[in-house]
Structure 1
């Protein structure tokens, strides 16, 4: 019997489903909220198109105090998570997190929206993220198209960050900045939250259940149909012989969670980076008793509050 259009072809519930007719049903990360003033944190935000070709936007956040201050603030470029397939820069999850972080750290943040798989398979997410960073960098001399970046961002004090797949993107963009210099932008550091890396062989005490491994690889293949598999350098850059050699910053903070299967890749990243010949400082912070991206789903819990303060301190360490 021929399959009907309504039959499920790929089921990755509770994340998404793909049907026989090609329809994508996202089960998480579908809600969006507009930008504007957040009265709780006094943070302002706006959406700006960074690519006319793809019509992709960034959401820019600034603390309300910036409008009455002459001091420029550290700049964070943030890439959202979601296994490259779900969520957006405009979801309430990321609006709430970045409002809180911008308020706590007193920074300017640019949250990048990128095209998602499977409609736009890898490398679309990386390509869009690099295009967005180049657009951000075009403001370094105060003559870019967006006045908030011209007036308030300190391009000598730039950080990249992301959670899960966004942390994966942040790593690859940091590598690219060392190979393709961006005029006027000094990348100081990187914050990787629960980074989405994988590989063919287990590291540490990773769960060796074949079903778990098959699901993780299956989601990666959905996002990247032409991949060579779990040792593709995009999902497993840590075992690349040049790992760390071209990392375009000198400070890295890695945040992991005790109950997250991906935590061992975060620790492995730290170990390999230290032994790579990279001339910088790397630190891992592990949250006890927590799961993957807990700080987004439980932003008021004590571990999430502590994580937020740690990230804010990391970005303010070099502030003049």
Structure 2
């Protein structure tokens, strides 16, 4: 037909109407071009959850200060003694999951309702203590502030005095904790933090009591200057993420003037260094996530360097699917994380 032209139409993920509605309501905020107004709107819409949640009787929680000078704190979740199989001294100690929330290094916090709910689900599903770290966010605190805060949280837990206070007195009670079974977990930008902190911990903490037994990267946020096939094909297809949004996040987080080929973003290829003690990794990939090609390159890099990595794929998953408990894949993810933790935790 004269005057016609071909237009690439992005595929649409199969989502229930309830999830589609939530994402549609989010779009006008995420894709506003005025970054200052966007941050204000997101802060206004970011509903906070207090640590005590009576509608979750099997999970207890408390907020703890890690470093008051930089406003660093964490929300700690633990199973109630009645929820654990056995709270006696003869029972196996609980693994610890240190969680880093997503939000492009810019948005959300450990107190955001979706992340409070997600960490409660992890705590209950894994029967583990979950420490959700509220790291400093960009653009007020650019690279490497988030990584420094995450590392400070691990060092805090590794300290004998603070560990006894945080993990025993405030939350855990009679339940014992195994710091040799510590797992790093995070989604999106939090998954990016998991990689960098696992590398830094493996490089500098050989004498520490805390042992990072595994790394769980849920749809990790990596990137580079060139556009991958999935970025071009799935731009806005998942409605929770777009190239415009990812570019904005990198501009806010990376040092002023840095490109997306900065080492914080680009973690694939021959130039990436990995410490000998880099832990086994589990990488979660969604079929409708525009970041999936970068995640595939990351997995290839880990394997090329002899690291143990398990890939868990959800073909119909959009970026952020784990935030919606009504999605079947969200429940399956809890099961997969539990399998990974059970496989790599210390054997007593």
Q: Using structure 1 for the length normalisation, give the TM-score.
A: 0.85
**Where does residue 18 of structure 1 map in the other structure?**
35
**Where does residue 239 of structure 1 map in the other structure?**
269
**Residue 226 of structure 1 aligns to a residue in which SS?**
coil
1:116-140 CA deviation, whole Å, 9 max, x = no partner? 1112222221111111111111149
2:109 pairs, out of 59, 82, 88, with 88
1:184 pairs, out of 199, 206, 209, with 209
1:251 pairs, out of 253, 259, 280, with 280
**What is the alpha-carbon distance in structure 1 between the residues aligned to residue 161 and residue 31 of structure 2?**
38
**What is the alpha-carbon distance in structure 2 between the residues aligned to residue 85 and residue 183 of structure 1?**
31
**Where does residue 102 of structure 1 map in the other structure?**
123
**Residue 200 of structure 1 aligns to a residue in which SS?**
coil
**What is the alpha-carbon distance in structure 1 between the residues aligned to residue 225 and residue 162 of structure 2?**
45
**Where does residue 261 of structure 1 map in the other structure?**
290
2:94 pairs, out of 73, 87, 93, with 73
Across the aligned residues of Structure 1 and Structure 2, the Cα RMSD in angstroms comes to: 2.9
**Residue 58 of structure 1 aligns to a residue in which SS?**
strand
The answer to whether the aligner puts 1:313 opposite 2:339 as a matched pair is yes
Closer, same or farther in 2 for the Cα pair 1:52/1:15, shift >3 Å? farther
**What is the alpha-carbon distance in structure 1 between the residues aligned to residue 289 and residue 219 of structure 2?**
8
Closer, same or farther in 2 for the Cα pair 1:129/1:69, shift >3 Å? same
1:109-124 superposed matches below 5 A: 109-124=130-145
**What is the alpha-carbon distance in structure 1 between the residues aligned to residue 318 and residue 97 of structure 2?**
24
**Residue 74 of structure 2 aligns to a residue in which SS?**
strand
Following superposition, the deviation at residue 203 of structure 1 comes to 4.1
Closer, same or farther in 2 for the Cα pair 1:25/1:63, shift >3 Å? same
Closer, same or farther in 2 for the Cα pair 1:24/1:207, shift >3 Å? closer
**What is the alpha-carbon distance in structure 2 between the residues aligned to residue 210 and residue 311 of structure 1?**
28
In structure 1, list runs of 5 or more residues that go unmatched: 1-11
2:71 pairs, out of 39, 55, 58, with 55
1:252-291 CA deviation, whole Å, 9 max, x = no partner? 1000111010111111111111112x3x321111112121
Contact 1:187 1:248 in 2 (8 A): no
In structure 2, list runs of 5 or more residues that go unmatched: 1-27, 237-241
Following superposition, the deviation at residue 108 of structure 1 comes to 0.8
1:283 pairs, out of 310, 313, 316, with 310
Aligned length: 304
Following superposition, the deviation at residue 46 of structure 1 comes to 0.4
**What is the alpha-carbon distance in structure 2 between the residues aligned to residue 270 and residue 140 of structure 1?**
37
**Where does residue 187 of structure 2 map in the other structure?**
163
Contact 1:141 1:184 in 2 (8 A): no
**What is the alpha-carbon distance in structure 1 between the residues aligned to residue 208 and residue 66 of structure 2?**
18
Contact 2:64 2:74 in 1 (8 A): yes
Q: Hey, which bits of structure 1, 4+ residues long, moved more than 6 A? A: 208-211
Closer, same or farther in 2 for the Cα pair 1:62/1:149, shift >3 Å? closer
Contact 2:64 2:166 in 1 (8 A): no
Contact 1:139 1:145 in 2 (8 A): no
Contact 1:138 1:144 in 2 (8 A): no
Q: Which moved more, 1:64-73 or 1:125-134?
A: 64-73
**What is the alpha-carbon distance in structure 2 between the residues aligned to residue 18 and residue 188 of structure 1?**
38
Q: Using structure 2 for the length normalisation, give the TM-score.
A: 0.79
Which has a greater percent of helix?
2
**Residue 259 of structure 2 aligns to a residue in which SS?**
coil
**What is the alpha-carbon distance in structure 2 between the residues aligned to residue 68 and residue 273 of structure 1?**
38
**Where does residue 42 of structure 1 map in the other structure?**
58
